[in-house]
A and B are shown apart, each in its own frame.
Chain A
Amino acid sequence: SQQGEEDPQALSIQEGENATMNCSYKTSINNLQWYRQNSGRGLVHLILIRSNEREKHSGRLRVTLDTSKKSSSLLITASRAADTASYFCATAANTGTASKLTFGTGTRLQVTL
């Protein structure tokens, strides 16, 4: 399996704190994406970072990518209770006609008041 690994598997923080999740993958990639899933429902795309980028920001989200280490991190700043969800990284190898996504194992984030 080419599935990536994420750590931690679970993270519990208080509202207002920052949350950092890490993702490692195994093969060369075209881009890496982060998705959020609330309570076993559909996934929501958060951010995409390309293989030639090192850092990207979107609102309270900051993503880094280190292709030499085959790793990425997602930082959520000033967390809110509504950020409680599972977060998955996904890598795209770009087959030329479609970017099939390979998902990581996920991090369950719990933000408490």
Chain B
Amino acid sequence: SAVISQKPSRDICQRGTSLTIQCQVDSQVTMMFWYRQQPGQSLTLIATANQGSEATYESGFVIDKFPISRPNLTFSTLTVSNMSPEDSSIYLCSVGRGVFQETQYFGPGTRLLVL
């Protein structure tokens, strides 16, 4: 298993501003994943973050809007830039375990409300 923490746990932000979410893992991991969960919806993968390389973004998500850092094997940040009310969601990071990172362990999530 893995212990994952996220900061902040929740925030209320004004439109046009940016928020950086931190994800800390208690052990070294190769890949970290960032998901978005819009109100009442399922999870959608934003990007996969490898240490030492650029993050890989899924269709519909771009680096300018969601820049990601991965400075070491236990930490990553996701920034939600130039926020609008449509960005109000829960943002979750996860890490994989197993040969193909099959089982994922999730952080508690960051609940973001944009006014």
Of the candidate stretches A14-22, A57-65, A92-100, the one touching chain B is A92-100
Nearest to B42 among chain A residues (CB) is: A103
Complex CA gap A43/B45 in Å reads 14
Find chain B residues with CB under 8 A from A98 CB. Answer: 31, 48, 96, 100-101
Complex CA gap A45/B103 in Å reads 7
Q: Contact string, B91-103, partner A, CB cutoff 8 A, digits 1/0?
A: 0101010001111
Partner of A40, one of B31, B44, B90, B101: B90
Q: Contact string, B63-85, partner A, CB cutoff 8 A, digits 1/0?
A: 00000000000000000000000
Q: Contact string, A69-113, partner B, CB cutoff 8 A, digits 1/0?
A: 000000000000000000010001010111111111110000000
Check A48 against B102 for contact (C-beta < 8 Å). Answer: yes
Q: Beyond A31-B102, A92-B100, A101-B33: 15 further Cβ-contacts under 8 Å?
A: A3-B44, A30-B102, A35-B106, A40-B109, A43-B43, A45-B103, A48-B103, A98-B96, A98-B100, A99-B100, A99-B102, A100-B45, A101-B43, A103-B42, A106-B42
Find chain B residues with CB under 8 A from A3 CB. Answer: 42, 44
Complex CA gap A45/B108 in Å reads 13
Number of A residues near B (Cβ < 8 Å) is 26
Find chain B residues with CB under 8 A from A45 CB. Answer: 103-105
Nearest to B39 among chain A residues (CB) is: A40
The 8 closest A-B pairs by CB, nearest first: A42-B106, A42-B108, A43-B106, A103-B43, A103-B42, A99-B100, A98-B101, A99-B102
Find chain B residues with CB under 8 A from A101 CB. Answer: 33, 43, 45, 104
Check B92 against A42 for contact (C-beta < 8 Å). Answer: yes
Complex CA gap A45/B4 in Å reads 14
Q: Which of B44, B100, B105, B111 has the most CB of A within 10 A?
A: B100
Find chain B residues with CB under 8 A from A42 CB. Answer: 4, 92, 106-109
